[in-house]
Structure 1
Amino acid sequence: METLVQVAQLLLALSILVGIHEGGHMVAAKMFGMKVEKFFIGFPPTLFSFKKGETEYGLGAIPLGGFVKISGMIDESMDKEQMAQPPQPWEFRSKPAWQRLIVMLGGIIVNVVAGVIAMIILTYNVGDEYIPSSYVKENGVQALRFGEQFGFQNGDKILNINGEDYERFSDVTDPAIFLDSDAYYTVERNGQQVKITVPDGALDLMSKEKTFKQEFLYPRAKFQVAYPEDPEYLATSNAKKVGIFDGDIITKVGDTPAGYTDQFKSILGAYAGGIASIEVLRGNETLTFEVPVNKDTTIGFLMASQIPVERNEYSFGEATAKGTADAFNLVIVNARAMGKMFSGDLSARSLSGPIGIVNLFPKAWDWNQFWYTTAFISMILAFMNLLPIPALDGGHVMFLLYEMISGKAPSDKFLENAQKVGMIILLALMVFVFGNDILKLFGI
């Protein structure tokens, strides 16, 4: 069921984004008097269509894209019969190069505008919540599986990242860190400063492992004792039986400090099946209890985290600035990652297709997360479409810029062949990313 919810969100997001992208081309084309023959969301076979004016509007059965057919344009339709006729005034090819350029940029522009607007609205309506860096600098982090691989230890206090201060814990796991050469963290460990260098291949690891962020680092959590409202649970709780109350703060097990969740769980394991002397702080009073420890190393209570969360709210002006910056930062990070791929510093295995993108959406429907992910995809679609590959908008833009600078347009034959090459490249890329997604599903 969770997967179905994610797939439904992906299909809705793609339908919206493809619709506005192709709509951007269509509106620009009609604005300059070009004839738009078809506007489709999805690819054939056609589920339904209707005609209004000169344009056929429709929905295709394959919901992984869409297209708009503009008369007199060499595109994926490869309509050689029409292109063999003399240019007509309403055709794409008969218009000035600057008008054709605006038409080709229309889809990219509306994707950028949509992504930015969505980020601004989310920032204004939702604000943001974060764990302040001051907590991490005081209490340290818990090093999980990947954190240990990097060289972190439980209790390390992260002082700075690449020599720069940071505001919030989420900055510690920002993918942009792993794009920098010789990236490093400075931590305080047992009163000494230690430099932890980000290992080679960290970005590959992050992109390949879906649980990387969940298994990298986490703020070391102070906690309070808490009990569920479950009579059966309470009746079997050793902690409850000996008199440990809701809200008590555990400070020691035996003579060993145990004020953090990772400390407490680790230490208690040594007492499995025995009795542990547990010191708690209740208000200003320190109390000690002798508590039987179950063989599964539990004593019967829940850990209520005391990690502070701060919240920022923004005026509309502040949200406009921050939302716009956040939207373009998504593109910058991905552009840098692509540069790493071309230089060989990042494996192409990090590329994901529709199967991988599904995992960006939450497993339970959350409109705020849906619109954030949709804004992210919109910005990335704009960036990818601007790449100078024939068959993408960026390929058309490249040839139009050549025409505007040189004063000479490429021949129709050249454009047809370039379109074919571009389609082969895109099909190969689709096969590759689908293969990547399938291999990742099986952990390969």
Structure 2
Amino acid sequence: MEILIKLSQFLLSLSFLIILHELGHFIPAKLFKTRVEKFYLFFDVKFSLFKKKIGDTVYGIGWLPLGGYVKISGMVNESIETEQLNSEPQPWEFRSKPAWQRLIIMLGGVTVNFILAFVIYIGMTYAYGDLYISNKDMDHGVWVQSPILQEAGMKNGDKIVAVDGREIDRFNDVGYAIMMGHQVEVERNGAKENIDLPVNLLGQMSDGNKGGLVALRVPFVVVAFSEEGDQTNAQVLQLKDQVKSVNGVNTPFVDQVQAVLAENKGKVVPAVIERDGKELTVDLKIDQDGKLNLFYAPVLTIDTLEKMGLYHISQVKYSLGESVTVGINKGVEKVGGYFDQLKKIVKPETGAYKGVGGFKAIYDIFPSVWSWEYFWNITALLSIMLGVMNLLPIPALDGGHVMFLLYEMITGRKPSDKFLENAQMVGFFILIGLLLFANGNDIYKAIFK
């Protein structure tokens, strides 16, 4: 069932984005009286799952869910017939239209992608508002989960003040800021300290150092017992027990419990637990790996954490007018953030290219339970990614067509159809290479990591 839910969200989001992107090309093409021969969701290699001709256009659904396309008459790309190049341009063909009309047709897809993302962020802001923890309220500091950050010098309990000189207002933004940053300013025991982050932080994260970077410090709460191995602790502990101290050391948080367990491997030690509002003392058996042979809750719900008095949750609701401004600002931040990610990817020293993923990586970001909030948030982000990627000046992408059109409009000289055909073929092979690299990364991680 979980796989079905993830797959349904993945296909629904992908289909929604493809159809709207292609409509961005289709509508201006029809407005400028340019014939559209095909409008397809997914690729129809050899055959289609569905097709129907209405007017001059065949509408269909292909069987290969790697994207979609509109085939515009006279548009020079990798699919144009050679005989068409040898004939005179017809009035209904793309190549016979003025450069400014062709530019609008080519920019239509990415324009729709960006508008869609902004509309989604505006709608989500109005519907859900903002739920966050102020970074200034992080009195207990953070739980440093990443070994990479620990090696860099960060410690549990550090308060994140700023990243690259920019103060972080909300804890929700800390993880991404660190991932994209170079230096973190922390407050430790009342003193501030700057910690340099590894240049290849993203590369190391892709090399198997998975999991979060920093998280909320939360209590150690028993949620399940392992059915294998030593059952000693299962006889003295119960579900929902909260570990308060181990071997005389106060351990209000998971990271502190882990540290004490690691120091007492293979021992039986006293521990204070809280059960039903009362404190009890029990003996815990720690195995040679520093484990208790049980499962604890590393993450509790926001409401629970607030009720326990650990964190103050701030919630802001917006009017429709306010949502427009806030939503647009969120969209601008996401677009800028994605460009920052691309900058990291093209720098080999960052190792960020190792994290590039294909369709499996996109599938994996959808939750295994249906959530419209998560669905629309992911769809907005994917829409931005689709828009930015299509703007890259690579022949066969919208950005490649735009590049040649701008050259024509500036110089007054139109590249020959043969040149454009060859450029499209080069761009097509570049795209195939990128597709193989991204999905090859997915396969490599699935097999070896």
Smaller-chain TM-score bracket: 0.7 to 0.9
1:150 to partner: Cα distance: 3.0
Name the CA distance, whole Å, in 2 between partners of 1:124 and 1:33. 39
1:382–1:239 Cα change, 3 Å: closer
1:195-274 correspondence runs (5 A): 195-207=194-206, 211-213=210-212, 216-222=213-219, 238=236, 252-253=245-246, 255-264=248-257, 266-267=259-260, 270=264, 274=268
Change (3 A) 1:288 1:440: closer
Assess, with a 3 A threshold, how the Cα gap between structure 1 residues 276 and 51 changes in structure 2: closer, same or farther: same
Deviation at 1:47, TM superposition (A): 1.2
Aligned equivalent of 2:38:
38
Question: Which residue number corresponds to residue 153 of structure 2?
Answer: 151
Inter-partner Cα distance in structure 2 for 1:402 and 1:34: 22
Quick one: which of 224, 249, 272 aligns to 1:278?
A: 272
Alignment RMSD = 3.3
- The Cα shift of 1:322 comes to 2.3
Query: Contact 1:237/1:299 (CA < 8 Å) preserved in 2?
Result: no
Where 1:203 maps in the other structure, the secondary structure is helix
Are the equivalent residues in 2 in contact too, given 1:273–1:292 (CA < 8 A)? Answer: no
| In 1, Cα distance between equivalents of 2:40 and 2:443 | 28
Q: CA deviation at 1:189?
A: 2.8
Q: Which amino acid aligns with 1:126?
A: Y
Select the residue among 381, 386, 393 that pairs with 2:386: 381
Q: Displacement of 1:104 after TM fit?
A: 0.6
Q: Is the 8 A contact 1:239 1:299 kept in 2?
A: no
Please, what TM-score do these two structures have when normalized by structure 2?
0.84
Cα 1:298–1:48 shift into 2, 3 Å: closer
Alignment match, 1:233: none
Are 2:438 and 1:442 aligned? no
Q: Could you tell me how far apart the structure 1 residues matched to 2:373 and 2:235 are? A: 39
Q: Confirm or deny: 8 A CA contact 2:219 2:243 kept in the other structure.
A: no
Structure 2 unpaired stretches of 5+: 226-233
Alpha-carbon distance change, 278 to 421 in structure 1, aligned in 2, over 3 angstroms: closer
Question: Aligned-pair distance for 1:274?
Answer: 4.9
Q: Secondary structure at the match of 2:157?
A: coil
Work out the CA distance in 1 between the residues paired with 2:273 and 2:110.
62
Higher deviation after alignment, 4-13 or 382-391? 4-13
Match of residue 86, structure 1, among 85, 88, 91: 88
1:267 to 1:178, Cα distance in 2 relative to 1, 3 A: closer
- The alignment partner of 2:388 has SS state of helix
Q: Which runs of 4+ in 1 moved over 6 A?
A: 223-228, 279-283, 296-304
Contact (CA 8 Å) 1:159, 1:187: kept in 2 or not? yes
Partner deviation per Cα, 1:307-339 (whole Å, 9 max, x = no partner): 423322222223222222222322222222222
Q: Say if 2:154 is the partner of 1:161.
A: no
Whole-angstrom distance in 2 between the partners of 1:288 and 1:127: 39
Aligned AA for 1:217? V
1: CA distance between counterparts of 2:344 and 2:326?
27
1:408 deviates by 1.4
Letter in structure 2 aligned against 1:349: K
Give the secondary-structure state (helix, strand or coil) at the position aligned to 2:83. helix
Distance 1:364 1:279 in 2: 33
1:395 aligns with 2:394: no
Is contact 1:178–1:198 with CA below 8 Å preserved after alignment? Answer: no
Instruction: Tell me, yes or no, if structure 1 residue 292 matches structure 2 residue 289.
Output: no
Contact 2:244 2:271 in 1 (8 A): no
Structure 1 residue aligned with 2:317, among 309, 313, 316? 313
CA distance in 2, matches of 1:92, 1:389: 20
Cα distance 1:223–1:295, how it changes in 2: closer, same or farther (>3 A)?
A: closer
After TM superposition, give the deviation of residue 387 of structure 1 in Å. Answer: 0.9
The offset of 1:109, in angstroms, is: 0.8
CA distance in 1, matches of 2:254, 2:395: 55
Residue-by-residue CA offset, 1:99-137 (whole Å, 9 max, x unaligned): 11101111111111111111211121112322321332x
Name the amino acid aligned to 1:37. Answer: E
Tell me the distance in 2 between the aligned counterparts of 1:168 and 1:225. Answer: 29
Show the 5 A alignment for 1:355-434.
Answer: 355-434=360-439
Residue identity over aligned pairs, in percent, reads 41
For the structure 1 residues 132 and 201, does the alpha-carbon distance in structure 2 shift closer, same or farther, using more than 3 Å as the test? same
In the TM superposition, residue 157 of structure 1 has moved relative to its aligned partner by 2.5
Superposed, 1:349-360 pairs within 5 Å as: 349-360=354-365
Contact persistence 2:247–2:269 (CA under 8 A): no
Tell me which amino acid in the other structure corresponds to 2:35: K
Distance 1:60 1:254, change over 3 A: closer
Q: Distance in 1 between matches of 2:18 and 2:2?
A: 24
1:77–1:139: structure 2 CA closer, same or farther, 3 Å change rule? same
Find the residue that maps to 2:87 and give its secondary structure.
coil
Q: Distance in 1 between matches of 2:85 and 2:183?
A: 57
Aligned length: 425
Shift of 1:349: 2.3
Amino acid paired to 1:326 = K
1:33–1:90 Cα contact (<8 Å) kept: yes
Counterpart AA for 1:194: E
Sort the Cα spacing of 1:265 and 1:422 in 2 relative to 1 into closer, same or farther, 3 A.
Answer: closer
Distance 1:67 1:332 in 2: 27
Question: Structure 1 residues 210, 97: CA separation in 2 closer, same or farther (over 3 Å shift)?
Answer: farther
Check whether the contact 1:46–1:60 (CA below 8 A) recurs between aligned residues.
yes
CA gap of 1:418–1:267, structure 2 versus 1, over 3 A, is closer
Secondary structure in 2 matching 1:389: coil
Q: Summarize deviations over 1:218-271 as a string: whole Å, max 9, x none.
A: 22225789999xxxxxxx77478xxxxx99x87655653333233245446749
